[in-house]
A = this chain, B = another copy of it.
Amino acid sequence: MISVTILGAGNVATHLYNAFKQSSNTTVKQWFNRNINTIIDYKNDVDTIDSLEQLEDADIYILAVSDDAIAKLSQQLPFEDRLVVHTSGSVSVYDIDKKHRRGVLYPLQSISKDAKIDFADVPICIETIHKKSFPLLRELILSIGSPAHKINSDQRRVLHLAAVFVNNFTNQLYRIGHEITESEGAEFDMLKPLILETAKKIQDMSPYKAQTGPARRYDKKTLKKQIKSLDDNKHHQDIYKLLTASIQKTHGR
C-alpha cells in the first residue's frame, strides 16, 4: 500500500484525490490546503489539514499547486529526504528544494474542474532526479490505471509546449467556430461531429496525411472569398491567414 499526501486543492489535486481514493493500492494519508474551506467537504473521508506542521509521514508528497508556488512550498515542508513531486508541465524538477528526494508527475491531459476524468486516458509523465525514486512513482501511477511514461526535462518541456498547441489553441479554434456560427444564425452544434472526427482521424493517420480543405488544395478562389468574409473581424482574419500560410508551408508544392 502506497501512502500519499496531497498539497493543493485545484483541478489536478482534486481529480488525483478521487483517483487515489478509488485505488486499492493507494491510500491518501492527508490532504493539505492553506484555505481548509476549499476541501471541507472531504473532511470525513481524509485527514484535511491547513498547517504544514500537521504533516505526517507518507511515502509520496504531491505538490499539486500553481507553478509559482512550488519552490516556496517545497522549502517550507518541515522534513527532508522524503519523496516530493510536483505536477507541472513547465516547472523544473530542480525548483523543488534540494533537501527532498525530487520528482515530477505530469499528467498530459486537460483537467477541468467539472469534466469527468478517466485516468486510463491520462498518460502521466514521470521524471525523477534519482533512479531509485522511479519505481514507486511508477507503481503509484499504475495503481490509478494511467499509462506511465519515463521522460526527461527536455521531453516534458516539449510535450507541454505541444500540448498548448493541440489542446489550448485547438480549443480556441473551437471557440472561434462557435463565435462565427452563432453570430450569423447557424448552429455550432452542427460542427460537433466534424470536431470529433478531426480528432479521431489522427489517432491512426498522421496529421500531415489527414489534412484537407481549401488551403491544402491551394484553392485560391475559396481562400480569397473566406478572407474577405472576415473583413469585419481582423483578429479572426489574421488567424485565418497565418494558419493558411502554415498549412501551405507544410504542404508546399
Q: List residues of A whose CB falls within 8 A of some B CB.
A: 11, 67-68, 90, 108-112, 114-115, 121-123, 125, 149, 151, 154-155, 157-178, 180-181, 184-188, 190-203, 205-216, 219, 221-222, 225-226, 229-230, 235, 238-240, 242-243, 246-247, 249-250
Q: Which of A149, A161, A209 has the most CB of B within 10 A?
A: A161
- Given A112-B201, A166-B177, A191-B159, A154:B222 Cβ within 8 A: no
Partner of A193, one of B123, B154, B168, B201: B123
Contacts of A197 in B (CB 8 A): 109-110, 121
Q: Contact between A193 and B122 (Cβ–Cβ < 8 Å)?
A: yes
Q: Contact between B193 and A155 (Cβ–Cβ < 8 Å)?
A: no
Who on chain B is nearest to A210 by CB? Answer: B171
Contacts of A67 in B (CB 8 A): 219, 221-222
Complex A-B: 19 CB contacts under 8 Å: A108-B190, A108-B193, A110-B212, A112-B210, A149-B187, A154-B184, A155-B184, A155-B186, A158-B180, A159-B186, A161-B229, A161-B230, A162-B176, A168-B211, A169-B239, A172-B250, A174-B210, A175-B250, A192-B203
Q: How far is the CA of A184 from the CA of B168 in the complex (A)?
A: 21
Contacts of A203 in B (CB 8 A): 192, 195-196
Who on chain B is nearest to A167 by CB? Answer: B198
Contacts of A186 in B (CB 8 A): 151, 155, 158-159, 162
| Secondary structure type dominating chain A contacts | helix
Q: How far is the CA of A164 from the CA of B222 in the complex (A)?
A: 11
Number of copies of this chain that the complex holds: 2
Q: Contact between A185 and B121 (Cβ–Cβ < 8 Å)?
A: no
Who on chain B is nearest to A175 by CB? Answer: B207
Q: Contact between A229 and B162 (Cβ–Cβ < 8 Å)?
A: no
Q: How far is the CA of A104 from the CA of B148 in the complex (A)?
A: 49
Chain B min CB distance to A247 (Å): 5
- Given A90-B225, A162-B177, A172-B246, A194:B109 Cβ within 8 A: yes
Partner of A199, one of B161, B199, B229: B199
Q: How far is the CA of A187 from the CA of B200 in the complex (A)?
A: 18
Given contacts A161-B226, A163-B191, 11 further A-B contacts (CB under 8 A): A90-B222, A112-B201, A112-B212, A123-B193, A154-B184, A158-B186, A164-B214, A168-B243, A175-B207, A175-B250, A192-B203
